[in-house]
Chain A
Amino acid sequence: MSRQQGPDESRRPSHLSWPEWWAERLGLGASWREALYHPVPRRSSVFDLLGFMTALAFLNQVVTGIILMTFYSPSVAGAYQSILAIDAVPAEHFVRDLHYWGANAMVVLVGLHLLRVFYVGAYKRPREFQWVSGALLLAVTIGFAFTGYLLPWDQQAYWATTVGTAMASYFPGIGSFLQGLARGGDTVSGATLGRFFTVHVLVLPLLLLALLGLHLLLVFVHGQSKVEEALPEGYRAKHRTGDHSDFPAGDFQPFWPNTVATMLGSALVLVAVLVALAATHPAPLLQQADPLNRANYQPTPAWYFLWIYQLLKLFPGRLDILGIVGLPLLSGFFLIALPFIDRNPSTQRRKRPFALAAGAAAMVFVLGFSYVGSSSAVGPTAAATTASSQAIAHPSFAHNVEPLLTASCQQCHSASSHSGGLVVVSYADLMKGGGLGPVIRAGDPADSLIIQALNGTSQQVTQMPLGGQQLPQSDIQLLSNWIAEGAPDN
């Protein structure tokens, strides 16, 4: 039974366990007990851990981010140099790799967590604001990804940010103001870097902590939906008074230490995955940002923006605004307001056919567009293929061959650098050839040095582009087709 009430009551502190001691100082009453020992169903799936793992990935970002920040210099003159210096020290490079993969993991985990919550209908009354705060946390995560992208100040950072901030300029009425506000000027510059850095390391972390606090507080207040549903009638009310006599053993286990142990296990797995990725796939770094783009770099979007990138191709000309502003805003609004739009009170899958079908359709849409976007976006030669979409049977020099040469070959074979004596700027240059003689035998692609070099089958020259990835077969085919037709100047 409980201890005797008596004059010794006031000296109780010396007998308190450490959680009780802290609970008393923090004025937590008995709620810490409820938090620590609340029953959790024994049978649980990894999906239950997604929210926790997202928070954990964030913790990874905090730790690695603080380390990176001590070496990083947020200025046009210093940013790229400081990243080079970081990459020169293996331990620091590894921290950057971890930060890079942690960022990707956060985007993935927050997305999966959201899907899971949607699927089980856990956003319904009374958990609407758990969902709303979660949707805002997703927005903050994307903000982190977007602002962090610029900081290495390489070509990818610079031009992806140029395109990303240019999207803001499509906003009706205040578009150019928004773009200027994001950039601190007309173009992406040192002012932009300063703004993005501050937002990335200060504003967004504060926002995230505030939202996460609310998110977790609400989990504490309302409990996890599936736990509440499984608990016996009236258990919660009794539990709040400190009576744990009918703890539903059997199907349930206490949060501490059983569930916490599972969480720790998932933490170890996540960190192991991040370490493995960081060790095998280091964070990329391209050439230093060049606002004049002298090397004709062509930016590609981050993987989580691929679907928007692909979508934009569907809205030509003046309808662009629908894809650039309308659709993202609308989907954001839907996402945040979902619990107030979907008024169906049921959380049973069979009773929510419409919501689940709509969710599935949205997923298919995003994944499908991402896939198409990824296969059409990448590679330095998309210039040639986007201008004229498919691998071309009867290529024209001006429309197909020349843009391809410009994008893929002129970095080295220009009038100023003329590697190997070869210049491919004009038709005449190309036909003249280089130090090894003509590179094109009209009508005979197989015997043309340029095709051999691109295929890596030449005895005389190494595979081209030098040090780069082989051109897509469609591009080499295009060139072959053109040579087969007699290499006309058309």
Chain B
Amino acid sequence: MSASPQAVVIGSSAGALEALSRILSVLPATFILPVIAVVHLPPDKRSILAELLQARCAVRVREAEDKEPITPGTIYFAPPDYHLLVEMDRSLSLSSDEPVLFSRPSIDVLFESAADAYGCGLLGVVLTGANHDGARGLNAIVEGGGSAIVQDPDSAFAPAMPQAAIEACPNARVLSVDAIASYLQEIGRS
């Protein structure tokens, strides 16, 4: 695989909560990488995702704020109804641009901007989901020299999203949720 990652981006929709909590809850408090995640949610819902996951995780989990510098060992979630982007100086930006593939936040928007900012230092992960968001973004990550992991569609609650990601990135590693969790633990060791 490419150079050891400096950041991880994750995208998921249907079935996300379960998959994410299995992955994120095993990360130790000493985990050093930033993780930036987009999960599709109904737009008018006040997000309780970060709170829910914080209760189950040792690492810091928060909802991303506009122009916030990215800190190591922190998991950021896009707020509902805003796109989340990574700037070249590695801070976060929100935008209220049109939905992309009917989604806001959009996984592609996050992944493409993170690929620009981190290049080969980025790991992209696509998990369970029922649409095709993330495929184009994961491809941008690979094109930029970063690495790609996709949840094994057979084990996914909704296989469409991982399947589309694999089609767009045939060289992505295909792993179970538990294998993804162990891999992250390994690369995030201080």
- Co-complex (A, B): no
